[in-house]
Each structure stands twice: as structure tokens, then as C-alpha cells.
Structure 1
């Protein structure tokens, strides 16, 4: 095997023995370790030969761990529907100790199942020039967002290019703010709205609309995960500047657009503008 060839995860009898005996993996609090074990088992089972004697044990272990995960996510969904979502989800907050590396982690696996939706059957519309392919904000950064931007129930939080809606959903649950997701792709907006309805989130709305045509007049916190660039971003920033002249607002960014927005003379960051971290901007006081 060459040095550049993909390597199968090292799943040995000893490791299977260890995982089978580690009943701590079945405790809800062991989320990170359980997700890592599930991912490792799934990857190995995808590549392992059907005749491999370890397959049955690995599959049984995987089923046991995924059942724990389903039960945890079902419990969180039930808490959200009963109005206890804030407490149920804040227990998973990473606090302010968030790494600035790219990628997703165990919190994305958790929220991906809590906010689960049916796969769309409809075709997704092609992107216009300047629009960026949808990627969800890593969940640890959504927790960071609501802390850094000090989002409260009195805010109207608007996600500009909300995709499948994880940011406004989690922001709504954690803060009680009125949240709006604006998304040009109607399939994404519809699925997000269906998920919000299933979780009984009545202070959350998704609108299928081009952000350039949207009503931004009620927003106090605006979030952009680099949903567009160039002329589209310029148009949206001009609209946000007009809104800032009417009332106090915060502009929150993640991804490459943060550097572009940092060049806006009418905005100032609340702290250092770091790569792969949430940045909060405030209008410059005259």
C-alpha cells in the first residue's frame, strides 16, 4: 500500500472488546466519545469484507450506540416541544473555549439528528454568480454567536441565507428571540419551516426569498455565513447600513466575508477579526 492510499480505521478484536466493555459510552454525557465511536464503526463497516468475523460484533455495537443517540435526541426534541429546549441544549454549550479549526464535530451530529428532516425530492435551483454553495454553520460556533452578540428575547435575529435553518432554530431555542431565516432556495426554506413547526417553535419563521428583496426593517441582529460575495454582498451591506441609521443593530459574520465586512468604514468589530471564529460588528458611532 502506498503512503498516499486511504487507510482503513484500525478496528481490532482488542478495540471491539474495549468498546463493548465501555458502558460509559451509553451515558448521555459521553456524547463526544460516543459519536467518535459511531463514526469509526460506520467507516469500518462500509469498507470491511462481508466475511470479516468482526462484522457481526461491530454491527451489534453500532446498533447499541446509535440507539442511545436516538433516545437522547428524542428526549431533547420532547423538551423543546414542551418549552424546555433552552435548558436541554445549553448543557451542551462548549462555552467560550472554542477551537478555530475548520470542520464539524459531535455537536453537529447531535443537532443534525435533533433537527432531522426528510431528504428533499425536488431539484435544488442553480446558484447565481456571487452566491455561495450552502454549508451549515458548525454548531459550536452558533453557541458562540449567541454569546458574543448577546442575543436576547428582545431581539429580532435574521439569518441572511439561512439554508436548512440550524442557526435561527438554535438561536430561537437558546435565547427566545424572534428569529427569521431568509433563504432563496424554496426547498431549504420549506424543510426548515417544517422542522420548526414539528418542534413547536412559534417565534421562528423561514422566508423563501432573495435577500436583496427582503424586508429587513425589524431586524436587530443580522447573521451572514458568507452566503454571497461581490455585487450581491455589496447590495446587502448597503441595505444593512441603511437599517443601522434607523436603530441599533449588530452584524454577525462567520467565514471569509468577515474580512470583507471588516473593511466597511461604517462598522467596527467588537474584538479581533479571527479566521474561523464568529465576529460581531457594531455601527460606528457618529
Structure 2
């Protein structure tokens, strides 16, 4: 291949990539000066939240009596700066008012959301302490709280979820979903930030867990790896488009245990104190104190495969 042929092929490819018809569905146009969400900054926000909520675990600082308030001040100050910037970026990104100065339009609200999230951190710590305690008590292999905080993917995913859920309650766009998907990438646990999850939540092992956006979980719920709390179908409107926002995921009441590989689909209710065995499908309501398990092998009729 000659240099001229090589250059011509490169130029042709550049022209194809620059054709608006090829990228109109995947291109975001923004005005100069408008911030864009930053995965790097959002990752740092998550790190800071972990450092603040679990002192002495995720930072290199040496904590001792009299210095904690100093380091908390440093962390919270950095968190405020990054958080307000990312909230503003999310608002500008999703704002459809092209006639306005989006930065000026959304700065005040972004700052208000930031301080509300900062003020929520003590409550967030209280919730996560209960999640850590429940995880420790529900796992005989856990040696201490520190092991749970440091190494359990369930706690990492739940931390991201509870942070993202609060931001969603504050009507912050885009950023909550990025935070939850970062946990998904890190742990294999997919919790939609719109789900409602009560206190003392335990995810044991965790890989492959899916919790849909309209799920409601009560207190002291425990689920194992591979559990799906999903939708059975997607209703379609008169134009053939999926109807979004309607309740389509399970309600799981207090003190329910769901074992590995179980799948619960649709807007069904699993009554309190129930146990769902591994690798079962549930698509109907279950009353309180239910027990659902697979049939034992000896209960399944034998077939030699004739007619299959």
C-alpha cells in the first residue's frame, strides 16, 4: 500500500465519522463553558464518602483523638467542591432549554442539593452501620466489622446505592445512575438507585444480583448471589413504545431471605419472614412465612427422553 492510498483511506474514514447522520443519536451537543460529568470526579466523590463514613479505613490519614474533626473538615470541603460541580454538570447535561445560560440557571439548585446531601451524611452513616452489622451477623465467615467494611462487595454496592438513592430523591439527574453503575462494574451487583431498600440489608457474595428500579425491600432482607428482582414484561403504549415509570418489580417485606440464583419477576409481594430457595422462579404473590424450594430429584418423574 502506498502512502497516498493509506492517507486516502484514513481521510475517507474521517469523513464517514464526521457525517451527522451517523452520530445524531449518540452525540451530545453542549455550549462552550458548560461542564460535563466526569467519571474521574465521581469516582473521587465515592472515595471521599467512604472515607468520611468509615473513618480510618479508606484514607491514608492517621486518626487519633483531636485530629478527626480536622480530617473530616478537609474531606467534606473537597466533597462539597466536587459534588456541586458534578450535580451542576448533570443538570446542564439533561437541560433541554437551549435559550438559557444553563450554568447560571442551575448553579443555585446544585449548591442547595450539595448541602442537603452533606447534611444527610450522618443519617447515611447510621444506615450503613446497620447494613454492616447485619452483614456481619448473617455471615459466620465474617471475623469482624473491619473485614466486612474493607472487603465485602455487598457493602460497597450498598454504599453506592444509598448515596445514589439520596441524590435521586433530590432530583439530581444522571449522576445517581453513574454512581450505581460504578458499583455494578466494581462488584457485579446491579442496584437501580430508584429502588427503595429498608434498613439492615445484606447481600452475601453478591455477584450477579439485580434489583430493579421499582423494587421495594423492607427491613432485614438478605439475598445471595445471582438473585434477580426483575420485571416480567414491559407494557407498550399505543405507539409501540415501552411505558416507563410504572411499578413492575417485586415488593419484598421484612425479614425475607432469598437464596442463590432465585428469580422473582413482576409486581408481586413476598410476605414477611418468607424464605425463597435457590434457583426457583416466583411470579405470584406469597403470603407471610412462605417457604419456596425446588422439588427434590426423587419427586421428579423419570423420562428416557422419548418424544423429545
TM bin, normalised by shorter chain, reads: under 0.3
Query: Which structure's CA Rg is the greater one?
Result: 2
Normalized against structure 1, the TM-score is what?
0.27
Normalized against structure 2, the TM-score is what?
0.26
